[in-house]
Amino acid sequence: MAKLNHHFSKLSNNYLFPEIEKRIATYRQKTPNARLMDLGIGDITQPIPASAVSALVEAAQEMGKPGHFRGYGPSEGYPFLRETIASNEYGKLGINIDPSEIFVSDGAQSDIANFQELFCTDNRIAIADPTYPVYLDSNVIAGRTRALLKTGRQGGVTYLPCTESNGFKPETPSVQVDLIYLCFPNNPTGVTIDRPLLKEWVDYARKNQAVILLDGAYSAFITDENAPKSIYEIEGAREVAVEFRTFSKSAGFTGLRCSYTVVPKDLKIYDYGKVHSLHALWKRRHDTKFNGVAYPIQRAAAALFTPQGQKEVQGLVGSYLERARLFRQGLSALGYTAYGGKDCPYIWCKTPEQVSSWDFFDYLLEEHKIVSIPGSGFGQAGEGFIRFSAFADPSSLGEALQRLKAG
Amino acid sequence: MAKLNHHFSKLSNNYLFPEIEKRIATYRQKTPNARLMDLGIGDITQPIPASAVSALVEAAQEMGKPGHFRGYGPSEGYPFLRETIASNEYGKLGINIDPSEIFVSDGAQSDIANFQELFCTDNRIAIADPTYPVYLDSNVIAGRTRALLKTGRQGGVTYLPCTESNGFKPETPSVQVDLIYLCFPNNPTGVTIDRPLLKEWVDYARKNQAVILLDGAYSAFITDENAPKSIYEIEGAREVAVEFRTFSKSAGFTGLRCSYTVVPKDLKIYDYGKVHSLHALWKRRHDTKFNGVAYPIQRAAAALFTPQGQKEVQGLVGSYLERARLFRQGLSALGYTAYGGKDCPYIWCKTPEQVSSWDFFDYLLEEHKIVSIPGSGFGQAGEGFIRFSAFADPSSLGEALQRLKAG
């Protein structure tokens, strides 16, 4: 008899985004003519850069030509893309990352969800709270958490509260943990970290032989000069950290699916005394369970690093940050307490009068026809907050402010 | 201290294909001017159909236009593709598969490697021997096998020998197994199964509440009228079988990455008494760990089902099968015992005089400059065989026969 992976039953019944879609669908049924302002899901709203389109078209045409098309590529990505990432994203910051340490993938989400497979189930994980739900859910499915607690939290997990009192910056725990999920700039708070605090994390990991899995999906949006663009700016990080990056948000690739993961060759993993290379293991996992990203998509990603591509990406990033700035300003002017939005296009807005996240979500949807994301969906410490996405188009952002103002 | 998933150490040190690449590289270093005939890895050698190129170009251009580009799509694929697959691949065979039962993915390899996550680790798996190594390796990594045996086999696995004596057709076991990996037409033997024998498997699974994971990567090549094109032709299969399909081989999509998995809603999974829907679980897994296939790639796949696309795919499939027929005929004329090649472009060739697979591989490489795949790389019952791929271009196949003839 085929038996279920019973760890699935520990997941909350509804993954956050489908639950939101369900509530929207219910609302639309009641009021089919309502014009909703969607400031919810962090999807891009501007087309992909022209340089990426040209490269995609050209590569598509190559695929139809004898002598030019490409079949299976290397599962870890084509050298042309890995090399340009290494030199542009790291070399220019003075960071030494070899192209062979870069694994091209179809999404930061899948890579960060899959990476835990390299570790045995009795590692203890630490995650920021609130944060992107995939880190925790992928570990629950894998059986790395214990029984669900009465509080609704997963047993055997070290939660790192990110609250107003610590400026939404997770602090190193006093207990020993093995796998540490960090996200800077953090989704959903939109807040990033400065070098001294990130150095504390690297030092903690070195001292405890822990591994940091750093989700840098929003790193392109960092403007604060005191905030590191990459964890490898910190001394010793090559020994303890994996970094996940994506073209989804900075270049509008959410519908094209291309990302990359950096696994430095200095990174070690332990097996009761024996030492192994995490790089070799991830390569083995990649070869077995993944077959690379479509060639035309890799060409499109590489085109982002041409001078024209860089200009276009900077334009996109700048415009989203400008939207975030204006929206946060507007919220503040209306009396809301809002965070984030400076190094990331997410605004982390406190609900008024201690209303719960879901109640405020429902209120915004039903009274103002505004879609947001309830902060509690990202973890219990997100309760009492709501996430707005400034990826939304300026007219929606403006209209949303108008509606809130009109009360 | 971060601790390794120690199951990785049970994997054979080298995944088959990288080991082959290593031997080729060593040979090339010794004889840099040798002109190799590559009949090894089953990669396509003809460009993708013109209809797919056009659709890819058009969708790429859409991605650059305000109001036309697409961001995140549904993780399980766009309705336009799921609907056309359901009607063309199943409806036309008289099989009732609903579009919602089809999950679009980036490769049959990744899906079939990931699907085991839905099951707990104490399910017993059965796999054909020889077969595609990913089924076993993904279960080893997940910890679903026991200690490595002295024989080199994985403990706790039921191997289903596919040998000359049973016509390379795996038979239902006398013991009880829970998850059954089947591949028809089988990689590497190139041999498929007829309806009565597949019905035995479906009946076995129904009786034992087992789940069949059927890899149909080569189903488009089936010519035998007695062989089912889909497992859902068999009564009751909807209750016990998942089917994996890909556009890689039939439409030359190995470099574009698009596949699909059928999970019927009738398929149940057990959790110590409780019954769950496998469809809902796979959807949950997809939402958490996968973010869909690139929109332009899905458009390219959908274009394969237009009248023009179907004509082009039939042309590709027919030409590969013709190559296989001629090559197998040529091998037989030279005195080799060769199987397969009728319903799949793989030829399963017996090594002469009981030479081992790897020795024959080395002999072919060094004496004839022909690249093949050693049968033992697909399982112990593959020892004494070699796989030739007739995806290779006709001049390579012809030249390889000439070289073998010249001795």
Q: What is the ipTM of this complex?
A: 0.96
**Number of H-type helices and E-type strands within chain A:** 11, 17
Contact A109 B269 (CB under 8 A): no
Q: Which residue has the higher pLDDT, B41 or B336?
A: B336
A369 near A34, Cβ under 8 Å?
yes
Q: What DSSP string runs through A90-142?
A: IGGGT----GGGEEEES-HHHHHHHGGGGB-TTPPEEEEES--THHHHHHHHH
Q: Nearest-CA distance from A356 to chain B in Å?
A: 25
pLDDT of residue A407: 79
State which residue of chain A sits closest to B41, comparing Cα positions. Answer: A72
pLDDT digits (tens, 9 = 90+) for B341-385: 999 999 999 999 999 999 999 999 999 999 999 999 999 999 999
State how far the Cα of B47 lies from the Cα of B27, in Å rounded to an integer.
29
Give the H/E segment covering residue B205. helix B195-208
| CB neighbourhood size of B367 (10 A) | 11
Contact A56 B53 (CB under 8 A): no
Q: Nearest-CA distance from A215 to chain B in Å?
A: 15
What average pLDDT does the segment B80-96 reach? 98
Pairing mode, strands A211-215 and A179-183: parallel
pLDDT digits (tens, 9 = 90+) for B112-158: 999 999 999 999 999 999 999 999 999 999 999 998 898 889 999 99
Contact A3 B210 (CB under 8 A): no
What average pLDDT does the segment B163-167 reach? 97
What average pLDDT does the segment B289-295 reach? 96
pLDDT bracket for residue B270 (50, 70, 90): confident
State how far the Cα of A293 lies from the Cα of A256, in Å rounded to an integer.
10
CA B366 to chain centroid:
29
CA A320 to chain centroid:
16
Percentage of chain B modeled with pLDDT above 70: 99
pLDDT of residue B257: 98
pLDDT of residue B17: 80
Question: What separation, in Å, do the N-terminal and C-terminal C-alpha atoms of chain A show?
Answer: 58
Contact A2 B123 (CB under 8 A): yes
The shortest CB-CB distance from B137 to any of A210, A211, A288 is to: A288
pLDDT of residue A16: 80
Contact B256 A118 (CB under 8 A): no
State how far the Cα of B240 lies from the Cα of A254, in Å rounded to an integer.
35
- Chain B residues with CB inside 8 Å of A281's CB? 4, 8
Q: What is the pTM of this model?
A: 0.97
How is residue A58 annotated by DSSP? H
Q: Is B369 helix (H, G, I), strand (E, B) or coil?
A: coil
State which residue of chain A sits closest to B67, comparing Cα positions. Answer: A47
pLDDT of residue B271: 79
Q: Nearest-CA distance from A286 to chain B in Å?
A: 9
State how far the Cα of B85 lies from the Cα of B104, in Å rounded to an integer.
10
Contact B3 A123 (CB under 8 A): yes
- CA dihedral sign, ordered A329, A330, A331, A333: positive
Q: Which residues of chain A have pLDDT under 70?
A: 13-15
Q: Match 């919220």 to its residue by tokens.
A: A331
Which domains, and CATH codes, for chain A?
Answer: 7-47+308-406 (3.90.1150.10), 53-305 (3.40.640.10)
Give the H/E segment covering residue A275. strand A274-277
Query: Quick one: tokens of B199?
Result: 């019905």
Query: Quick one: tokens of B394?
Result: 């006709």
Give the H/E segment covering residue B397. helix B394-406
CA B224 to chain centroid:
19
State how far the Cα of A41 lies from the Cα of A44, in Å rounded to an integer.
9
| CB neighbourhood size of A352 (10 A) | 13
Q: Does the pLDDT at position B202 exceed 90? A: yes
Query: Quick one: tokens of A209?
Result: 């032989």
Going by C-alpha positions, the residue among B85, B161, B155, B88 that lies closest to residue B129 is B161
State how far the Cα of B104 lies from the Cα of B92, in Å rounded to an integer.
19
**Residues A213-248, buried b or exposed e (16+ Cβ, 10 A)?**
bbbbbbbbbbeeeebbbbbbbbeebbebbbbbbbbb
